[in-house]
Structure 1
Amino acid sequence: MPEGRVKTWDLWVRLTHWTVAGIVAWNLFGPTDATHRVLGYIAAGLVGLRIVWGFVGTQYARFSAWWPTPAHLIAYVRSLARGRPMHHLSHNPLGGSMAIALWLLILALGASGWLMRLDAFWGEDWPQELHTVLSIALEVCICVHIAAAIVMSVWTRENLIGAMLTGFKRSGPENEKAPRKRSPS
């Protein structure tokens, strides 16, 4: 393991990330045919499996390592405003919020695509309109996600895109702890 680096993203996290990214790119810009439908269901299935992995997976893949609570979001936004973003081994709170938004949009697109094929909605416009609105929302979120990854990589001098390829992130400050534990409610 390289000095000062931590294996953060396991193989399953990276495979699901890049496979879903490829499928979404194909489905956003490719033809809307039978392949589009099958790939959409595969993407939704992979997102579902990634959500399961958030409960049972490796240390940094678990939701307990990065769930964006209001307190964590506020603290992180304040660190950005001070010009010194807090370092996170897993997702930072804004990145975690974006992951959740992307996953929900992909799941909703799978569901709306499925609804469009049901006889019960034959001739109805709203399932197609919903699917279109969701796809536009996904495109916007993807653009924000990519831009944020690039900006934060430059700002923090940590290659976040490279980390999602290799699995390694910079270990960060010496006093940084392992994934935070949820406090009992």
Structure 2
Amino acid sequence: MASTVKVWDRPVRLFHWSLAGSVALCWLTADELQSVHEVAGYAAAGLIGLRLVLGLAGTRYARFSQFIRSPKSTLTYAREMLRHKEQRYLGHNPLGAAMVVALIVMVAGIALTGWMQTTDAYWGIEWVEETHETLAELLLVAIALHVAGVIHASLRHHENLVLAMITGRKRAPAGGDIA
């Protein structure tokens, strides 16, 4: 069996699965259980705050500076991926990093517009409601793309990324991998 290395620390893994659960709960309760929907939304907002802290002051693979790449690098990675010649990254690959940023921005926007709807100033304001709903719908598309990317990378690089997000461990880097 190949040796493994610790990549995702416990706070990152707890964040990931807690956010997934909060978002799922928000989606399931959107039109039925408003109080549960709001609590799950506030939980998601708090989790985004935690992820921002981890992104600035967390462990190596949690830090934004470790995995966020330039648009040019991300596009180059996407081209290489389409040709099945992309390198394996121990942390987030450039497209995965772009998805992390997109998901954080979308969830933050959904949480903000959701909170705004509970205030006197913005309650019943159509653009706030429409923005909240549009971002929520776009989030579902982004989640589907995220899952597709995880499946693709798992198959391409012969490793179970879902399991890695549970255990925190990935296959040790080999020649050509980017650690």
For the criterion TM > 0.5, the same-fold answer is yes
The answer to whether the 8 A contact 1:85-1:156 is kept is no
Alpha-carbon distance change, 109 to 95 in structure 1, aligned in 2, over 3 angstroms: same
Name the structure 1 match of 2:151.
150
For 1:123 and 1:27, locate their aligned partners in 2 and report how far apart those are by CA, in whole Å: 20
CA-to-partner distance for each residue in 1:104-162, whole Å, 9 max, x for gaps?
A: 11110110011111111233222111111010011110111111111221122111111
Specify the code of the residue in structure 2 equivalent to 1:13: V
Q: Unmatched 5+ residue regions in structure 2?
A: none
Over aligned residue pairs, what C-alpha RMSD do you find?
Answer: 1.6
Deviations 1:87-116 (A, max 9, x none): 111100000100111111111011001111
Question: How far apart are 1:176 and its partner, in Å?
Answer: 4.1
Aligned to 1:7: 6
Normalization by structure 1: what TM-score?
0.89
Number of matched residues? 177
1:112·1:128 contact (CA, 8 Å) conserved in 2? yes
Q: Taking structure 2 as the reference length, what is the TM-score of the superposition?
A: 0.92
1:33 and 2:61 correspond = no
Residue 51 (structure 2) aligns with: 50
Shift of 1:80: 1.1
Q: In the alignment, what sits opposite 2:16?
A: 17
CA distance in 1, matches of 2:109, 2:121: 18
C-alpha distance in 1 between matches for 2:124 and 2:2 = 61
1:113 maps to 114
Gapped regions of structure 1 (runs ≥ 5):
179-185
Question: 62-71 vs 103-112, which deviates more?
Answer: 62-71
